[in-house]
Amino acid sequence: MTTAKIQFGRRSFIKSTVLAGGGLMLGFNLLASCKPGSANELEIPDEWFEINAYLKIGENGVVSIMSKNPEFGQGVMTSMPMVIAEELDVDWKNVMVEQAPFDAARFERQFTGGSQALRSSWQMLRTTGAAARQMLREAAAKAWDVPVAEITTAAGMLQHTGSGKKAGYGEFASAAAQIPVPTEVELKEPKDFTIVGKSKKNVNGKDIVTGKPLFGLDVEKEGMLIATVAIPPAFGMKLKSFDATEAKTMPGIKDIFSFKSYNDDYEQNMFDTNAFTELVAIVGNSTWEVMNAKLMLNVEWEPFSDYQYTAGGFRGSQEVTVPAGLESTADHMVKMKEAAAKPGNIVRKDGNPDEAFKNAAKVIESTYTAPFLGHFMMEPINFYADVTEDMVTVIGPSQAPEFVEGTISARLGIPREKIDVQITRMGGGFGRRAYNHYATEAAVISQQVKAPVKLVYSREDTTRFGVFRPAYYVTFRAGLDANNNMIAFHVKAGGVPESPLHANRFPAGAVDNYLAEAWTVDSNITIGAFRAPGSNFIGPAEQLFLDEVAEAAGKDPIQFRLDLFKKAQENPVGERNDYDAARYAGVLELVREKSGWGQNDSGRKRGVAAYFCHNSYAAHVVDVVMENGKPRVENVVSAMDCGIVVNPDAAVNMVEGAVVDGIGCAMYGEITFTDGAPDMDNFDSYRMIRYNEAPKKIDVHFVQNEIAPTGLGEPPFPPIFAALGNALYKLTGDRYYHQPFNKEDS
């Protein structure tokens, strides 16, 4: 067993207290208040106590575990409690799970993003469950007058083999609460896991399919009004004036007014991204009434001038310049080409790339581009707020509730301790719901009208007020010697308005002469996290290019990559390489084996790609066919190394979702702009993948190891673009350099 020490500090994560109903509560930085009802098949204890940040054991042995992280389909509401239950050694059927509210004083990293939920909490979750188990063992040992070392546990039962005594956890819950919290605990060896690594059903599954109110749009409160907002029609514009005379006469309308999202002297945090900070609010009795009144508004918008603001971030504050102008996609492409032709900012340089390219027997060069992308969540933007003199309550879908609390506190001038942020399940997100301007807007509107308000965006405004995946542009060069060995590699990457470059990723470390340059083009279009930020472009582009280089070298694309990984293992170049070459090679070897790569390939058109991001490794092999004159994906074989897989079925679902999502984005996804306005703002104009376009079969495999869990939501996403593009080349004979791929077919 592994011994884990329990650390105490200002946010001490283990506390114990006696429950009036004879139960044990163990508080820690993950769990929060519980209300019975999500597991009606369980016999609820005689008394429940709604206390934040606690693991609760009822007198009947039922365990209540609350999940801290916001849930939008990635499955953490099931997997994180599974880890606690594993070390607690309880029967999963006796576990209740509920969503925790936001509480910065007790929880750490209550944030969904970066594929970090399990990775960042793994040790804490295990230690908390193990501490509870140890306290129960000590209580039983004291009562039975036997050494604690002789007390064993299994499925929520305590047992002393020598005396034959047995008891359920509930019988000793009250006594265990009086036991001092251990300073260190023994953790299970992975081989002894009985819950982790075994598939469990989504704890919200039944509620979702039966239509239970789980989402922000489901929130209904007594006296609640509905609000929507009028926003500028294009990036580069701001509010000039408005006339609401006619709109205010519409049925059900309570008020119409303009407001600012932020105070003028406010330093925005990294998730306050907001192109339109002055809006017009329309407040009324129903969604239908406020949407109709909005149509009757007479609003004038005007172009804004260049401006600057200060934004905070993980690396400190920085000054951000927002240029004036109404931007168009055609102009973006011209500016990117111009920027790419100039010297970039050298981020990494190994060896002597210039000399190596001069001496190369072959030089391969290709440029790849990708457009802006929109998140297009199924659930439109919404948030509930009730602002009173004594308290602020906000409820809604957010990936970053801590930032919601801070921004609202600054905007309203109300202390954080008087703000209650409650988390709902999200109807999609993958980055967009980390940018929570809409929560602040709801709070400002509620304060103005002195009533609880649910803010609801239209589908079109949800898109137009987007925080988009940037437009990108990258040029690669590779030099081969006379023996077709890659001796030089150059990547020069940029975009509007950020560069996707990850300079220390493969093939950095595997090439003696390596150069990485970055550049950017300023823009007033808001950009932000989109599933696997940056990696979702640079990964596919790199992997498409490596296939082209492998072909020029006359080598099998998998073996070509494996040879490079071998060099990176045996004689790595540089010291900043951010990947493990052996693990990277491992997923390629696994996908080669499981796909039967190289075996009976003559009749199949298939492509391969692999990538590392968010601490995990992914590889895909894609088979494509021509059907009715159009290419379609037949089968996909996927391999993942994400450490210990907590919930296998859910993990497979996550990879399958990434595959389908990636194919759809690669083939069809794009947002273009004309004079600052998005040309796509609803599902009739933004092309998404359809059911009949999804692969007929997705076969997912995981590298088996005992490494602590790493990311899974994002890592499978980038390489599916390239595996598809490489397969399409085999099918059509044309290389795919520009997304979306379907435009290159036309």
Segment 162-187, tens digit of pLDDT = 999 999 998 888 888 788 888 888 99
Q: What is the pLDDT of residue 386?
A: 98
pLDDT of 336 reads 98
Q: Which amino acid is at 627?
A: E
pLDDT reading at 606 higher than 70: yes
Whether 127 is covered by a domain: the verdict is yes
Is 321 inside a domain boundary? no
pLDDT in tens, 500-551: 999 999 999 999 999 999 999 999 999 999 999 999 999 999 999 999 999 9
Tokens encoding 355: 């000399």
Shared-domain flag, residues 719 and 619: yes
- Report the distance separating Cα 195 and Cα 125, nearest Å: 14
DSSP string, 622-683: EEEEEETTEEEEEEEEEEEE-SS-SSHHHHHHHHHHHHHHHHHHHHH--B-EETTEES--ST
Among positive and negative, which fits the CA dihedral 168, 170, 174, 178? positive
- One domain for residues 417 and 514: no
Kindly state whether residues 734 and 639 are assigned to the same domain. yes
Distance CA 157, CA 507 (A): 52
Q: Give the mean model confidence (pLDDT) for residues 692-700.
A: 96
CATH, residue 285:
3.30.365.10
CB atoms within 10 A of CB 486: 28
SS3 455: strand
The domain tally of the chain equals 3
Q: What is the rounded average pLDDT of the residues 557-565?
A: 98
Q: Average pLDDT in the 600-617 region? A: 91
Shared-domain flag, residues 190 and 261: no
- The mean per-residue pLDDT over the stretch 121-145 comes to 90
Kindly state the average pLDDT of the residues 123-152.
91
Final residue of a domain: which of 456, 477, 495?
Answer: 456
Does 18 have pLDDT greater than 80? no
Q: Which of 189, 209, 229 is the last residue before a domain boundary?
A: 209
SS (H, E, C) 135-178: HHHHHHHHHHCCCHHHEEEECCEEEECCCCEEEEHHHHHHHHCC
pLDDT of residue 745: 58
Mean pLDDT of 25-29: 48
- Give residue 537's identity as a one-letter amino acid code: F
- Return the sign of the alpha-carbon dihedral for residues 725, 729, 731, 732: positive
Is 511:488 a contact under the CB 8 Å cutoff? yes
Residue 315's pLDDT is: 66
**Angle subtended by helix axes 76-88 and 117-144, to nearest 10:** 30
Q: Are residues 279 and 300 in the same domain?
A: yes
> What SS3 class is residue 539?
helix
| Confidence band of 35 (pLDDT split at 50, 70, 90) | very low
What's residue 524's pLDDT? 96
Q: Tens digit of pLDDT for each residue in 647-687?
A: 999 999 999 999 999 999 999 999 999 999 999 999 999 99
**Residue showing tokens 């047992």:** 159
Structure confidence by residue, pLDDT tens digits, 280-306: 999 999 999 999 999 999 999 999 999
pLDDT band at 39 (very low <50, low <70, confident <90, very high): very low
Average pLDDT for the chain: 90
pLDDT tens-digit series, residues 576-592: 999 999 999 999 999 99
Cα–Cα distance for residue pair 451/58, rounded to 1 Å: 39
Note whether 658 and 696 are same-domain residues: yes
Residue 278 lies in a domain: yes
Is residue 281 assigned to a domain?
yes
**DSSP string spanning 377-391?**
-SSPPEEEEEE-SS-
Is 461 within the bounds of a domain?
A: no
Please tell me whether residues 92 and 226 are part of one structural domain.
no
The answer to whether residues 739 and 679 belong to one domain is yes
Of 112-126, 218-232, 306-320, highest mean pLDDT: 218-232
Give mean pLDDT, residues 105-134: 81
Choosing from 209, 238, 259, the residue where a domain stops is 209
Q: How confident is the model at residue 603 (pLDDT cuts 50, 70, 90)?
A: confident
pLDDT value, residue 267: 85
Pairing of strands 677-678, 697-702: unpaired
For residue 507, say if its preceding peptide bond is cis, omega within 30 degrees of 0: yes
In a domain, 445, yes or no: yes
List all residues 6 or more positions away from 552 whose beta carbon is below 8 Å from its beta carbon.
362, 364, 478, 480, 484
The pLDDT assigned to 9 comes to 38
Q: For residues 408 and 443, is the Cβ–Cβ distance under 8 A?
A: yes
Query: Are 198 and 248 found together in one domain?
Result: no
179: domain range?
Answer: 2-209
480 and 425, same structural domain? no
pLDDT at position 180, please?
A: 81
pLDDT at 37 over 70: no
pLDDT for 238-248, tens place per residue?
999 999 999 99
In a domain, 313, yes or no: no
- Prediction pTM value: 0.92
Distance of CA 495 to the CA centre of its chain: 22
- How much of the chain exceeds pLDDT 90, in percent? 73
326 falls within a domain? no
- Distance (Å) of CA 200 to CA 35, 100, 195: 22, 20, 8
**Domain identity same for 100 and 147:** yes
**Are residues 10 and 156 both part of a single domain?**
yes
Mean pLDDT within 611-627: 96
**Alpha-carbon distance 741 to 728, whole Å?**
9
Band of pLDDT at residue 109, cut at 50, 70 and 90: confident
Beta bridge partners of 97: 65
> pLDDT tier at 482 (50, 70, 90 boundaries)?
very high
Q: What is the pLDDT of residue 31?
A: 36
Closest CA to 338 of 479, 489, 496: 496
In the prediction, which pLDDT does 6 show? Answer: 57
- Residue 515: what pLDDT? 98
